[in-house]
Structure 1
Amino acid sequence: MKVIRNINNNVAVCVDDNNHEVIAFGKGIGFKKAPYEIELSQIDRTYYNLDPHYVSLLNELPEDVLEVSYEIVKKGSAYLKVELNRTFWFSLCDHINFAIENCKKGLVLSNPMTNEIRHLYEKEMLLGKWAVKHIDRRLKIRLPQSEEANIAMHFINAKQEVKKNDEKDDFEHFVEDITDIVESEMDIIIDRSGFSYSRFVTHLKYLLKRTNQMSKDFSDNIKMYEDVYQKYPELRKVIEKIKCYIYSELNIEPSKEELLYLMIHINRLCAKEGL
């Protein structure tokens, strides 16, 4: 790998064998004057497609703060058993540096949510306490107690972001599979940029969220479902496949009312395609 610009003694901008720019971290890799070649064994970690804002942070933040923040992220990821977003390290670095600067100026910022965090997020709070002690050990700077909750809050938010991304992946997979069933059974290609498809996706989203609330109780819409089910054999066939798919994926059987709404949306999609 070729170093094309040094950021500091341990961070450099490199170009890999495919001519892709990458930010590389490694002990002493940025010490020599660029350009020069380095072995992959000298690199601890890399970041591709890094936002310029994060690159500027690397130029601004002290190396010891960067390193201790990375140690805290590694510890937190292992302790909480979660694969944190790779850019989380940058936001934590920025916060820790800000806290250190305030500490040096004698500024102590309280966290009004400390008690709530302590009771609701015991593990994250314990991690925050460890982080403050680790910063003291490594940098000889004793941050105020409020920073225990502040650092805990960073990990809480990062975990929630990971959860949101996982849920988004599950939902997109769910929607795409059902869309494929509709296209295959109705012999159409759905315009995924159209308003009708957007409404269809919105309904699937709510259906997925209501998986634990679905009911087979009768309502005024049950008769309408029976009428549509009998009148449109094409819809009947596709809705049966969707029902089987939902049962296999979510282990629940959608109510007739849910299926009625699906049939209405599918009918709109087909009408949009001229069927």
Structure 2
Amino acid sequence: MNGKQCEIINVLNHNTLICKNDDGETYVFFGKGIGFKKKKGEKFINDDNVQDYMLVLEAKEALKYKELLNQVTNKRLIDVVQNIVYEANKEFDNKINAKLNLTLLDHLNFAMERQKNNIIINYPFLSELSYIYPKEYEFSKRAFNYINRELKDSIQFDKAELGFLVLHIHAAIKNMKVSNLLLNNTIVYDCTKLIEKETKTKIDYRSIYYTSFIKHLEYAIQRYKDGIRINNVLWESIKDKCDIEYIVAEKINNILKEKYNINLDENEIGYIALHIYKLRNRKININLGKG
């Protein structure tokens, strides 16, 4: 849409315009001050002179956003979410996906209705998120406090919402669906508890070894979904030197098969075993030489 002229069909506020192009497709533009003194029917050009932090919801998402606006009962929530998205975009070097305006507003609007009806959904991995996504967590803490401060006359969100806020921010940075990220975290939680049970080891969630394990497991799952195979030339040595860890890694794969329909090959299982060894022994390097 960059550089193309649109007709303004709704000025939502000083920072949001709903427009349509010559083909009749609807777009939502978010940017500080872009709606100031603008009127319905005027022309709007999305170009580099507008401002530094322009976010655009394209046709399909824009229509969903328009529908959502009619469903939001507390209109103040719209501005609150937009301000969070602007700040997130600056905080994370313009990497935020514009769909965060839609997904976060939808989530918080529904969360308000749940909480008013005393329906609380707990997020069991909140403490782990502070170690896995530290920057997103710190930003989300500030955003969480801002939300409760701005909406104090109508609602105060339970702390469980902080976890979901972290997920929305991270998903917007990585251009992922929140549902996929939530599934990955559930898988990580299951696998972590299995490792602790089978090895009688209390894992330090703050360690670089845990972060490394999580990242590898996520990448291994994504490689499986994408049909990508890797060659582990150290597989035999790992299986020999990390025999206990390899058995645990196989049990992890059994969980993945039974609960999530994911079946990793022996190359991936070998690398997971190596990460489990590092978790247990808090060592970066292991001698995998013969003999």
Which TM class, normalised by the smaller chain length? 0.3 to 0.5
TM-score by length of 2: 0.46
- Between structures 1 and 2, the one with greater helix share: 1
Higher-Rg member (1/2): 1
TM-score between both structures, scaled by the size of structure 1: 0.48
